[in-house]
Amino acid sequence: MSSFLLEKDLALFHEQIKHVRRKRDELKGELRLLEAEIEKASAEQQRFDAVRAVCDALDTLAERNSNELFWEGAEEVRQAAGLVERARDRIARFEKEMNGLLGKQASLTEQISRCLDEILILEDEVRDAYDREALREEEFVVERDISPVPDRTVDMPWSREAESERRFRKALLSALLAAFILGALITLLKVPAPVRQVVAVIPERLVSMLRREPHRPEPPKEEKKPENEQQEKAPKEDRPDPIPLETQAARKKAESTGVLAYKKSFQTMMDDAPDTKLGAQARLSNQPAAGQARAGRSLVALPSGSGAGSSGGISNSGISRTIDSDSGKRIAAVSFTRVESKVAELKEEARPVSSGSGPARTDEEIQIVFDKYKATLYRMYNTELRRNPTLRGRIVLRITIETGGEVSACTVQSNDLRSSELVDQIVARVRKFHFGPKENVSRITILYPIDFLPGG
């Protein structure tokens, strides 16, 4: 079974490699023909360079009004400007043709290099297929004889059997007999009547109480004194001693520094009366608050901010990152309680989690592609690990994925590895990843961390 799977994978990969190599050979043939044309044009290039030099020299003579030195005694002196202009037109047409040939050569060279990259990727896939086959061969195979299934009578719920009916009747009769005996015994028991206590009747009485007010003594009469004596006995006001100028300057300096500088701010805070009904209208509910953005999980993306004036909601991203068959059931059983209050009613329109509309690439799809190329990345790391046995760390990549699945940009966001060569190889390899086409998917940029540890 395993060899059949290997042959199936290898047949597909070899067919793709043949197709890419056939395309590369065709491009190489076109490149050889183009290079032959460029070689022919190179011979003409020297002639046109000489003509360009002559035209430049004639232009220099014309600028210095010295055309007679070259055209003396010739009839073409009047047509010198027209001849130079026609020569320059020929040179321009030749340069345009030459630039077109060089552009085609660069395009063919780029296509050939792209074919070589595809061949390398397919060869990596072939090696991965052999690795998977080796792992399948190392698996423990359990071999056992298939035992025949014993024939058993099928008992349906509506089928009746004599033995089961007999047991049912016996149990029913036993229960009825026990109930009859208990009922007869209960009727024979006599319980004495309870003795009720006599409640004493207290006659109603009307009682009126009169409160005697305490006697208040009369205030003593004040004796009037002459005005002269009152003026003499008036206390003299104590005048404070004058404060020295140095003390006043030191006090002003101390009030402008330290905690005393916020004396007025503290005074205004103490004067503000707190709202005694703060939070009185708060209530608990399991429904999300209206007008606020809903919280959601965003990848390695990177990646969208919360609106101003919003608390961001309750995040459930820390519940689980494991994707298995029971994860949906466990997350569905999680519930949150939201606290709503009318202390500050901030109205805000609900916004989508992502910046664009329509479907997007999920974390699982991106993780599947990285798992697919994991062996290739670790092969690079193991090669570098032979040179430096202590090499380990994490690299965070900023990856831009186009709508067709191609990687248009890949840069290093952060790096703990002490090997610039390995980092360059990883970045170059990730740029060749293909995440597959997906309809109505916009271009996204994500952050993806990769940990490299010995033995991983």
Query: Among candidates 341, 212, 222, which has minimal Cα distance to 275?
Result: 341
Which contacts qualify for 339-344: CB closer than 8 Å, 24 or more apart?
339/282, 339/283, 339/284, 340/282, 340/283, 340/284, 340/285, 340/289, 341/279, 341/281, 341/282, 341/283, 342/281, 342/282, 343/278, 343/279, 343/282
Please state whether beta strands 444-452 and 393-401 pair in parallel, antiparallel, or not at all (unpaired): antiparallel
Burial call 278-290: b when 16+ CB within 10 Å, e when fewer: eeeeeeeeeebbe
Q: What is the pLDDT of residue 182?
A: 93
Dihedral angle sign, alpha carbons of residues 173, 174, 177, 179: negative
* Residue ranges matching CATH 3.30.2420 in the chain: 363-452
Of 92 and 186, the one with more pLDDT: 186
Pull the structure tokens for residue 214. 């305490």
Q: Does 268 or 455 have the greater pLDDT score?
A: 455
State yes or no: pLDDT of 231 exceeds 80: no
Range name among 216-220, 256-260, 447-451 with the lowest pLDDT average: 256-260
Half-sphere CA count of 397, side-chain side, radius 13 A: 19
Q: What is the pLDDT of residues 243-258, one digit of tens each?
A: 666 667 777 666 666 5
Q: Where are the alpha helices (DSSP H) in 312-450?
A: 327-332, 363-372, 374-387, 420-430
Q: In the predicted model, is pLDDT for residue 199 greater than 50?
A: yes
Q: Residue holding tokens 């993780």?
A: 367
- Assess whether pLDDT exceeds 60 at residue 327: no
- For the record, the structure tokens of 61 come out as 């003579």
Cα–Cα distances in Å, from 292 out to 160, 296, 306, 424? 64, 13, 10, 44
Distance of alpha carbon 403 from alpha carbon 401, whole angstroms: 7
For residue 174, is pLDDT > 80? yes
Task: CATH 1.10.287 in the chain: give the residue spans.
Answer: 2-137
385 in Cβ contact with 454 (< 8 Å): yes
Q: Which of 356, 239, 338, 222 is nearest to 285 (CA)?
A: 338
- Backbone φ and ψ for 409, nearest 5 degrees, come out as -150, 140
Helices (H) and strands (E) in the chain, counts: 11, 5
pLDDT tens digit sequence for 129-156: 888 888 877 777 777 777 787 777 767 7
User: Locate tokens 């709508």: which residue?
Assistant: 403
Residue 223 confidence (pLDDT) above 70: no
What is the DSSP code (8-state) at residue 170? Answer: H
How many CA atoms lie within 13 Å of 259's alpha carbon, on the beta-carbon side? 2
The pLDDT confidence band at residue 170, using thresholds 50, 70 and 90, is very high
Evaluate if residue 282 carries a pLDDT over 80. no
Q: Give the SS3 label for residue 411.
A: strand
Per-residue confidence (pLDDT) for residue 242, from 0 to 100:
60
Class of domain 363-452: alpha beta
Identify the architecture of domain 2-137 in CATH: Orthogonal Bundle (1.10)
